[in-house]
Amino acid sequence: MRTKNLLYGIGSIALMLALIITPFVTALPIPASAQPVELSLNHLFPEVSWFHQKAVVPWKNMVERKSNGKLKINIYPSGALAKSGTMYDAVKAGVVDMAIDPGPYYIGRFPMSEATQLPFLGAQSSWAASRAWMDLYYAFPELRKEYADVHLLWLFSQGPVQIITRKPVRKMEDMKGLIVRAPGGMGDYIKALGGSPVSINAPESYLALSKGTIDATVFPGEAIPTWKLHEVTKYVTMSHMAVQWFWVAMNQDKYKSLPKDLQKVMDDCSGTVGADIIGKAWNDADRAGFELAKQKGIELIDLSPQERKRWEKQVAPVTEKWIKTMEAKGYPAKKFVDEARKSIDKYNKQLAEKRG
């Protein structure tokens, strides 16, 4: 009986100790090594956009999965931490850990990269151009040097731009006098065709079109639902005139601070892997955008082969001038453009074969 009472007494003391100690034990901080490394990722598209949901979020999930939860990426859409045109400096300074932004918003900063948006290089899709840009990045040190002050994750391309207008453009003469949103070097092509280019950021296009400040804008198909252009335009001229490149970059110090295994995760999820994810998602979004346009009564205008040749001939001096100017500065511009055309053609054919 005495033994039994003794056991009860010991049990009561143990229970009391557990009740006293438990709050302190559970309040102890988790070891730093067990906490995920959090990274911020800033981009310009809205959270409801296909780009956020079908491209950025899947990439984020892949990184987190491959890191076994050791990396956590916090996405900031709509330029919440830095606006377009300022994101590169924000990444460089460490204001944001990572960002995605269009290269043409940085006129003159990436001179070699600007060749990726020269007119009529032949890209039929975002994926084909995105894979071509990565080929060029690996092949040309002059291109890699332009991103030396950040850790470049990858380059990619939007889909081919079309001319989305309030007035029909069926031939070159219809471009005369049109005020067209055309960022970066694309303004030169619009000017060569007779239009008056202005450079405004993508989110401002809707208001400018609705007020009649501009008559048209150059965008790929995905932009129609993304920026609600079907509400303020009536025509799309399917020019496939050019593409626009984007960069995805990470702060150098942040990348170097990661343990080697997490650096490998970032590397394995970047390059052509990242270009594939966004390129394929953009292809799908372009198709969906043109379908919406047709549903909303927007006319899709195809240029005849003869008219297309007129356009190509009219803007050819822009490419020739770029090559001449860059060669004078010591860049291998002619070789770069030739390789761009070859690489784009290769991926155009691969995609066509997959579609059967």
- Complete DSSP assignment for 308-351: HHHHHHHHHHHHHHHHHHHHHTT--HHHHHHHHHHHHHHHHHHH
pLDDT at 15 over 80: no
**Cα separation, 242 vs 154, whole angstroms:** 20
Mean pLDDT of 42-63: 96
* Predicted confidence (pLDDT) per residue in 145-166, tens digit: 999 999 999 999 999 999 999 9
Measured over the CA atoms of residue 216, residue 221, residue 223 and residue 225, the dihedral's sign is positive
Could you tell me which of 207, 197, 198, 193 has the C-alpha nearest to residue 239? 193
Residue 301: its H or E element: strand 299-302
Distances (CA, A) of 249 to 99, 244, 246: 6, 17, 10
- Quick one: average pLDDT of 330-353? 96
Q: If you average pLDDT over every residue of the chain, what do you get? A: 91
Q: What is the mean pLDDT of residues 135-148?
A: 97
253-266 confidence digits (pLDDT tens): 999 999 999 999 99
pLDDT at 333: 97
The number of CA neighbours under 13 Å toward the Cβ of 93 is 8
- In the block, tokens 């079908």 appear at 54
Q: Is the pLDDT of residue 5 over 90?
A: no
Band (29; pLDDT cuts 50, 70, 90): very low
Cβ 268 vs Cβ 109: under 8 Å: no
The more confidently predicted of residues 30 and 105 is 105
Residue 223 near residue 287, CB atoms below 8 Å: no
**Dihedral (Cα; 61, 67, 70, 72), 10-degree rounding:** -20
Binned at pLDDT 50, 70 and 90, residue 356 comes out as low
Name the β-bridge partners of 197. Answer: 180
Q: What is the pLDDT of residue 353?
A: 86
Main-chain phi, psi angles of 219, to 5 degrees = -155, 155
CA–centroid distance for 329 within its chain: 29
- Residue 347 pLDDT > 50, yes or no? yes
Q: Is 246 exposed, middle or buried (0-12, 13-18, 19+ CB in 10 A)?
A: buried
Phi, psi of 74 (to 5 degrees): -100, 115
Q: Which residue has the higher pLDDT, 107 or 95?
A: 95
Q: What is the pLDDT of residues 187-235, one digit of tens each?
A: 999 999 999 999 888 889 999 999 999 999 999 999 999 899 999 999 9
Check if the beta carbon of residue 169 is closer than 8 Å to that of residue 236: no
pLDDT band at 355 (very low <50, low <70, confident <90, very high): confident
Q: How many CB atoms lie within 10 A of CB 171?
A: 15
Q: Are 190 and 218 in contact (CB under 8 A)?
A: yes
Q: Rounded to an integer, what distance in angstroms lies between the CA atom of residue 203 and that of residue 228?
A: 10
